[in-house]
Amino acid sequence: MSKKYVMGNGAIALGALSAGVNLVAGYPGTPSSEIIETVAKYPHDGTYVEWSVNEKAAMEVASAAAYCGARAMVTMKQVGLNVASDPLMSLAYVGVKGGMVVVSADDPGPISSQTEQDTRRFAEFARIPVFDPSSPEEAFEMTREAFAYSEKYKTPVILRPTTRVDHAYASVDCPDSFTAGEYEGFVKDSKKWVIFPRLSYMNHAAIEKRNVEIGADFSACRFNSVSGSSKKAVVATGVSFAYASEFLKAYPDVRLIKVGTPYPLPESFLLEALAGVDEALCFEELSPYIEESLLKLIGKHKLGITVRGKLTGDVPPSGENDADSAKRIISRFLGLETDHAAEDMSGAPEPPARPPVLCAGCPHRASFYAVKRAMKGKKAYFCGDIGCYTLGNAMPLDMVDTCLCMGAGITMAQGFNHMDGEAVAISFTGDSTFFASGITGVVNAVYNAADMIVCILDNSTTAMTGHQPHPGTGRNLMSSPVEKISIEKILLAVGVKKVVTVDPLDLSAAIAAVSECALIKGVKAVIFKSPCVAIVRPNKKCAVNSEKCIGCLRCVRELGCPALSVKDGRAVIDSNLCTGCGLCARVCPADAIGGDPS
């Protein structure tokens, strides 16, 4: 045993490993990605771990392990749960034999996500239990406990951390190496493992009965707690409990109720915790889940308690909570005067906006720029997708007209083609996104005789989430090398008319490839292939020859590279950021940019 300082995601991984997990699968997505990376990193014996192509695949792979009586964990971000919801909804009816923990990381803010959805609602929708950790330490404990509950009640169990728990660091005590547990293996029983309407009907009734029992069990669970005894109570969940505790440490008499197991609701615990309370403030993020649950409970038991929270406007309906909002909202609720005077910022220079941008030297910039040049003067729709390259929307590139969800770039470009055949329909899809959910879109477009250009931005990694391998990289988490799956061969095999692979940094060839594809009817594809600069770390530099620079600033104006800026009316390159990609040199009309002689 030793103390390990880990991220919340690391604590979840160590919790699973120390519970003897046999199989871990998932798809990268902020804020969940480090769970699988940690599992893969720590010495373990007998645990199978994989990056799956998407969350649905991960859920199904893990389900089979749980049918075998093995302990399985599947990890994803909240929008990944949407992808995996098909198997999960059915799995909830079928149930499991070995413990199965589904980690779905929510992202209040949202900081790095498309939605502010609330996995607690998903758990209730699927009728399966959910744990809601308030700290990395608790995430470790809850992961272990979730396996036990899963096996006790033969159901998948959700662990729902949020970004601030996933990415917070704390110390956990655990062994230095891990061994996966023994499991029985799959026992055939088609009445149990094959979902049919009759089975679903019977299991639905059993699940509703069981959930009442789990609610009672949760009422004695150590993750639900109460301190203080005031008539006004603060009810908090997840990391909001940590913020509330931080503020209320100066007011120990104030009743603070923590709900760590939101569904099935621990009713008897809450009834006891709320005894003598006349007003309760629900301090939570995302949806008013506990607030609505309390209102139901209070209605059911005809209690005279006023409930405040998001529904009453006391807590903001969107965005994340923090230590300051906890102080402001809770002190207003309690009628406390707080001493804190806000920082006087009068006279402060306004800090510049810093929207996230593609890195200096990012090959995606060159790909977008080539398509932009090839489509100059033409009517075109540019359908983006999920990944670093969503940042191609920023000025001056302005090359992402739509972004909806994983894989939607291809299918939406197809839709635009059917609605406006005059325009060139173009999609941008990253390599990992292509394997996750792009292939079916290409098949759909070919089958339905669309006229469009599929651009694959192949940087040989899953960059945005921290450079995870995928089927095109030639390695997985268990072995290396493995067979590389060729995007080009897949595209040709499904009937794409023309597939051109080009280095986006070879600007004229890249422009020519796009122009050529635009002349051909049907579904065409350009694979822009150049590795992510954050991985290859090229050590070349470009520099501006200030004698030759005519100050037209075309490089700065058209590329938006963070290494380029303006000094005394001339372009300058920050050599700390430059990777020597040379795109600016190709754009310069005065031939003023070249390799740095030093």
Residues lying near other proteins in the complex (CB under 8 A) are found at: 3, 5, 30-31, 111-112, 135, 164-165, 167-171, 239, 242-243, 245-247, 249, 322-324, 327, 340, 342-343, 345, 347-349, 351-359, 388, 391, 394-396, 464-465, 553, 556-557, 560-562, 564-566, 576-577
Neighbours of 45 (CB within 10 A): 8
Closest distance between other proteins and the C-beta of residue 192, in Å? 41
Residue 389 and residue 513: Cα distance in Å, rounded? 20
Comparing CB distances to other proteins, the nearer of 492 and 577 is 577
Closest CA to 387 of 444, 441, 436: 436
Nearest CB to other proteins, comparing residues 293 and 429: 429
Nearer to other proteins, 166 or 458 (CB): 166
Peptide bond connecting 481 to the previous residue in cis, omega within 30 degrees of 0: yes
d(Cα 243, Cα 324) in Å, to the nearest integer?
A: 8
* Residue 88, φ and ψ in degrees, nearest 5: -65, -45
Least distance between other proteins and beta carbon 66 (Å): 30
Give the shortest CB-507-to-other proteins separation in angstroms.
20
3-state secondary structure of 403: coil
Name which of 144 and 364 has its Cβ closer to other proteins: 364
ω into 264 cis (within 30 of 0): yes
User: Phi-psi region for residue 84, left (φ > 0), alpha (ψ -120 to 50) or beta?
Assistant: alpha
> Which tokens go with 387?
């990944």
**Closest by alpha carbon to 323, among 457, 197, 496, 164?**
164
**CB-nearer residue toward other proteins: 120 or 327:** 327
Tokens of 333: 């609720």
Q: Min. distance of Cβ 58 from other proteins in angstroms? A: 20
Q: What is the largest CA-CA distance in the chain?
A: 83
CB of 4 to other proteins, least distance (A): 10
408: exposed, middle or buried (Cβ count in 10 Å: 0-12, 13-18, 19+): buried
Closer residue to other proteins, CB minimum distance, 205 or 250:
250
Output 395 or 519, the one with its CB closest to other proteins.
Answer: 395
Nearer to other proteins, 250 or 519 (CB): 250
Nearest-approach distance from CB 21 to other proteins, in angstroms: 24
We find the least distance from the C-beta atom of residue 127 to other proteins, in angstroms, to be 31
Which residue blocks in 400-469 are alpha helix, DSSP H?
A: 408-419, 431-433, 439-447
Strands (E), 195-347: 225-227, 232-236, 255-258, 279-283, 306-308
Give the separation between CA 74 and CA 104, rounded to whole angstroms. Answer: 8
What DSSP letter does each residue of 176-205 carry, written as one string? SSEEPPP-------HHHHS--HHHHHHHHH
Residue 324's contacts (CB-CB under 8 Å, 6 or more residues apart) are: none
Q: Which is nearer to other proteins, 249 or 302 (CB)?
A: 249
Both tokens assigned to 598: 């030093």
Which CB, 205 or 348, lies closer to other proteins? 348
Q: How far apart are alpha carbons 181 and 190 in whole angstroms?
A: 26
Q: Please give the distance of CA 233 from its chain centroid, rounded to a whole number.
A: 33
CB of 236 to other proteins, least distance (A): 11
CB of 395 to other proteins, least distance (A): 6
CB of 239 vs other proteins, minimal distance in Å: 7
* Distance, CA of 540 to CA of 12 (rounded, Å): 40
Least distance (Å) from other proteins to the CB of residue 316?
A: 16
Give the residue with the Cβ less far from other proteins, 89 or 394.
394
Nearer to other proteins, 102 or 239 (CB): 239
Whole-angstrom distance, CA of residue 368 vs CA of residue 505: 11
User: What's the Rg (C-alpha) of the chain?
Assistant: 27
**Whole-number minimum distance, CB 56 to other proteins, in Å?**
23
